[in-house]
Chain A
Amino acid sequence: EPEVTQTPSHQVTQMGQEVILRCVPISNHLYFYWYRQILGQKVEFLVSFYNNEISEKSEIFDDQFSVERPDGSNFTLKIRSTKLEDSAMYFCASSPTDAEETQYFGPGTRLLVL
């Protein structure tokens, strides 16, 4: 069964450093998403991406965040200058055809900012 994959599974970084989180969505899916979940809190939407551009983004997704689909398979989330409060689990998700469809989640990257 096809699945969303994410790398790395864990990332530890120093405050102020840049990190890039990588995702490979399911191959025939057209919509891609990033979410984050701070430990003990709910899953929060960050951004959705369709047709090589951002379609929606939340108030959390400020100028320090960016997303890119550098090739036909990868989908990345870059955090330019990490803050302590960026420590969270970051989930990538994809859906087949539109934003109302079921989304399939990757296993997540646990980011720890020191």
Chain B
Amino acid sequence: RKEVEQDPGPFNVPEGATVAFNCTYSNSASQSFFWYRQDCRKEPKLLMSVYSSGNEDGRFTAQLNRASQYISLLIRDSKLSDSATYLCVVNSEDNYGQNFVFGPGTRLSVLP
């Protein structure tokens, strides 16, 4: 079983739409959760950390369900500039120690 899985995408949505991304992780001992965005051929950039109580930053809302080992990201009123790949990242411990584990990403295209 893969450690971090995400919706395969791509998601093509019109401007102004609401879009939700889902992520599941396999290691129940994971402690930290993040959403990063990655533009084509660029570095991952932190979008937001994900807290147990859920958190919101403007048009972005992240939710964490530890019991189901599930993380979500909701984008409201999507803009053209939201087009990117969204990476679910989990701080996890495996045979090699504690490290960031990246999901494969979900690509979003916001269309005019």
Q: Place the interface of chain B in its size category.
A: 20 to 34
Minimum distance in angstroms from B83 CB to a CB of chain A: 18
Q: Tell yes or no: A91 within 8 A of B by CB.
A: yes
Question: Complex: how many Å from CA A48 to CA B93?
Answer: 13
CB contact under 8 A between A43 and B87, given known A100-B31, A104-B46, A105-B43:
yes
User: Which residue of the partner chain, among A58, A59, A106, contacts B43 with CB atoms under 8 Å?
Assistant: A106
Count of chain A residues with a beta carbon within 8 Å of a chain B beta carbon: 26
A-contact 0/1 string along B33-49, CB 8 Å cutoff: 01000100111111001
Question: Complex: how many Å from CA A107 to CA B91?
Answer: 21
Interface residues of A (CB under 8 A from B): 33, 35, 41-45, 48, 55-59, 89, 91, 99-108, 110
Interface residues of B (CB under 8 A from A): 31-32, 34, 38, 41-46, 49, 87, 91, 96-105
